[in-house]
Structure 1
Amino acid sequence: MKRKTLVAVWLLVVAVFLAACGAAGRNDQTGGTAGKAKKDKTESLRVALWSQPITEQTNLLVEKEKGFFKEKGLNITLIPGAGGGDAIKNILSGQADIAFTDPGSLFFALDKGAKLKVIYNIYPQNVFNVVSLKDKQITKPEDLKGKKIGVYSLASGTRQNLLVLLHQAGLSERDVTIVETGLLNFAPLMQGQVDATAATDTGLVMAKEKGLGDVNVMEVKDYLNIPSDVFVVTEKTYNEKKELLQMFLEAYRNSAQWMIDHPEEAASLATKYAIDGKDEQRNLQIIKLRNGSSVSPLTEEKGLGALDVNVLQQAADTYKTLGLVKNDLNMAEVVADDLLPQQ
């Protein structure tokens, strides 16, 4: 009887052990599958661009080839626009999660009461300029007084940065004649219809290809070096999607670093994905310019995308002085650097 009892106990122990092993196996299998599912799952983010897909944005356009965002578990959709204001409208309307936009468009939206956050400094260098033919002898902002100056449009960054440049010389819009020339703003300059034209560094590259002669170039960054473009999100998106935004910024920084390290490869790929990318040599010039505008002493210290709230505050104050915005803007409440990747 005693032996029968011992056998029964032993059989019970074996049964319990086997059951436990089976449960553990099922748990491992379930956990492994769940882990794999989590790893394989991709999250979607929509990025509103300020333009059509162009060469300077090649690092965003080559996702199919390079997979910077897929590597972080993200699927990004690029939404083309017609200016930084369009990009802001797309995030405010819920059509996009992230806006690739300029500080001016940001300031205008904030001035109207929009609740926004700046999370990454795409181009810390100001890429705007004012160009004139050598024979006009316009070499400093003071020389623009009384002159006729072309801009893309009255709502463009070319006009805003022209006003910034004039302001540094104690001049205003009243001291010059501003002419809307459209995107082909160098043609009126070459034809003598304007004395100077406000443009960008990449615009100047294309104008030189089309026969623009010797020119004087005043870089706005030499007078007020405010960022050219930043990533902006709504406060709601910032509060609700922090983890996804961090993943996005890590992937974007990796893509930007790739373009800095491999400009020739980027120039070649731009021929496939950029609407203005047919000429590989021109692509290379544009990409090198944008690579240069992506870095600064601050990014050398803190990494690509580093934000300087003081510079953005100075820019916002200048826009208020120029009458471009009506209200005082507190950029310390708008700039959020906590999502930036660590060095």
Structure 2
Amino acid sequence: MTNDNPIHSSVPAGISRRYFLQVTAAGVVTATALGTSGLKARAAGYEKFTWISPRGTLEVLDDYPYWSAKKAGYFGDLATDMQPGPSDGTATVKFVDVGQADMGFPSPGVFSFAIQNGMKLKSVFHMGARDTFSIAFRKGQGTKNLKDLEGKTILLGSAAWQAIVDPLLAAQGVDIKKVKYVEAGWPTWGTALAGGQGDAALSWEGLRAEWIAKGLDFEYWLGVQNSKLPANTFVVRAADLEDADKKAFLEKYLRGWAMGLEFGYQNPRAAVEAVFEQFPTLAKNLGPELGTTSILQQINVFRGDMDKRGGWGSHDMASWQGFFDEILKIGQITAPVKAEDVCTNDLIPAANDFDKAKVKADADGVKLSEGFAALDVDKIKAHLFDSAVK
């Protein structure tokens, strides 16, 4: 089952959402901001398992594995709940830390924020096997060398996204102290770039196609082509992995996501239709072709090089260690982090223990609507990266 009520309704009386998300000017989450001991995670098994978005909305194609799996019945009788969360960039980890959600989907940068602030979270299912993040430029103003951004301004939807961009730039040899950031607001930072503000903006796979639907036509430095850093991942409270009942639930839950990922890989158009059925406004705004373009961009990120992975959700520990080493150099964390201490592949075998032939049969058996059936998927794939800086 799903519940689309705003998640702030579950915050205990007396603590406003704004107060709950308060962070000090230095970026440190205070005990006051996170509430009191009454907000500790539930000790019992999950009555209803809540996943919280990092972006303040569910009306996107990014979560297609969930909606595909839900429609196909892959979650069985598990009580599941999807929440958009607030658009605050760090809410996806803070809500999990204090027990107001059970799984978050942070970027590595926001995950590092959680680690730096003592949140006992662990990455259990790595969705972003390739770096989804990109830098958008107005057409004719892009660069293949990100060092050209020194002295320039990058627009962000949330100030917290600086934790995403800083390591991406630093890994490309950029002196991040020479880069200025402006919080241009969610969801308007792309519109601000198109309107002449700033010099560039953070973007990501899937969003590129959605921006085209809004008339935002940019050129991009693409992380999927140029970066070795990891992207967003599923995190839970580390203590939950020590609870046998919760661990068993997590394995079943992640199996549902893995089956949804496999379903989308086998039939991208059917996965888009599953999301469009859930969100008619999104369907109207994107349409079949841009919807399929968006999901194909994301499938490339989520699948990665599957021949070198242990299945859907498997962490590449070398990639993660490279990320943690990079952010230590730039001061984003103040102490070394071992990837194996905060990332685990323990749940991956169980999550991938499903009948792939059945999922393929399910995906192939979907009767597509006329608009989707008419699409040439191979043609769309051939043009996925046409907007890369030439």
- TM-score, normalized by length of structure 2? 0.69
Q: CA deviation at 1:211?
A: 3.6
Partner residue, 2:17: none
Could you tell me which residue of structure 2 aligns to residue 238 of structure 1?
241
In the alignment, which residue of structure 2 is the partner of 1:318? 326
Aligned partner of 2:107 in structure 1 is: 102
Residue 254 of structure 1: SS of its match in structure 2? Answer: helix
Instruction: Give the residue type in structure 2 aligned to 1:67.
Output: G
Matched, 1:254 2:239: no
Structure 2 letter corresponding to 1:56: D
Aligned to 2:65: 59
Superimposed CA distance per residue, residues 119-142 of structure 1 (whole angstroms, 9 cap, x where no aligned partner): 111121111111223433523112
How far the C-alpha of 1:147 sits from its partner, in A, is 2.1
1:69 aligns with 2:75: yes
Q: CA deviation at 1:199?
A: 1.5
Q: SS at the partner of 2:233?
A: strand
Distance 1:68 1:84 in 2: 30
2: CA distance, partners of 1:138 / 1:266 = 34
218-227 vs 290-299, which moves further: 218-227
Q: Distance in 2 between matches of 1:65 and 1:210?
A: 28
Give the alignment partner of residue 296 of structure 1, picking from 283, 293, 304.
Answer: 304
Q: Deviations over 1:237-261 (max 9, x none)?
A: 1111221111112221111111111
Distance 1:127 1:337 in 2: 21
- Alpha-carbon distance in 2 for matches of 1:189, 1:75: 41
- Asked if structure 1 preserves the Cα contact closer than 8 Å seen for 2:49 and 2:80, the reply is yes
Distance in 2, Cα, partners of 1:299 & 1:88: 31
Structure with larger Rg: 1
SS in 1 for 2:62: helix
Take 1:179 and 1:62, find their aligned partners in 2: how far apart are those partners?
A: 36
Matched position secondary structure for 1:78: strand
C-alpha separation in 1, matches of 2:99 and 2:343 = 21
Q: Is 1:136 aligned to residue 141 of structure 2?
A: yes
AA aligned opposite 1:220: G
Match of 1:200 in 2: 204
Give the gaps of 5 or more residues in structure 2: 1-45, 354-390
Offset from partner CA, 1:177-216 (integer Å, 9 cap, x none): 3222223223233232222222223332233334445x54
**Does the Cα contact within 8 Å between 1:100 and 1:230 map onto a contact in 2?**
yes
Residue in 1 that maps onto 2:373:
none
For 1:286, the aligned partner's letter is S
Superposition RMSD in Å: 2.4
Q: Aligned to 1:129, what secondary structure does the other structure show?
A: strand
Q: CA deviation at 1:169?
A: 4.2
SS in 1 for 2:220: strand
How many residue pairs match? The answer is: 297
- Cα distance in structure 2, aligned partners of 1:135 and 1:79: 39
Whichever structure has more helix as a proportion of its residues is 1
Aligned to 1:167: 170
Distance 1:173 1:221 in 2: 21
Q: Report which of the two has the higher share of strand.
A: 1
Q: CA shift at 1:57, angstroms?
A: 0.6
SS in 1 for 2:230: coil
Structure 1 residue aligned with 2:194: 190
Offset, 1:301: 4.2
Conservation of the 8 A alpha-carbon contact between 2:206 and 2:294? yes
Which residue does the alignment assign to 1:4? none
Equivalent position amino acid for 1:78 in 2: M
Identity, in percent, stands at 23
Instruction: Quote the offset at 1:320 in angstroms.
Output: 2.0
* Alpha-carbon distance in 2 for matches of 1:228, 1:168: 14
Task: Classify the secondary structure of the residue corresponding to 1:90.
Answer: helix
Amino acid of the residue matched to residue 242 of structure 1?
K
**1:23 corresponds to:** none
Secondary structure of the equivalent of 2:234?
Answer: strand
Look up the SS of the partner of 1:56 in the other structure: coil
Distance 1:336 1:299, change over 3 A: farther
Which residue matches 2:54? 50
Q: Distance in 1 between matches of 2:144 and 2:272?
A: 33
- Give 1:84 deviation, angstroms: 5.6
AA aligned to 1:305 is: G
Aligned counterpart, 1:86: 91
Letter in 2 for 1:99: G
**Counterpart position of 1:228:** 231
In structure 2, the partner of 1:283 is: 291
Q: Is 1:117 aligned with 2:117?
A: no
Secondary structure in structure 2 of the residue aligned to 1:246: helix
Amino acid in the other structure paired with 2:192 = P
Aligned to 1:330: 338
TM-score (norm 1): 0.78
Secondary structure at the residue paired with 2:312?
coil
Pairing 1:308–2:316 present:
yes
Question: What is the CA–CA distance in structure 1 between the aligned matches of 2:201 and 2:108, rounded to whole Å?
Answer: 21
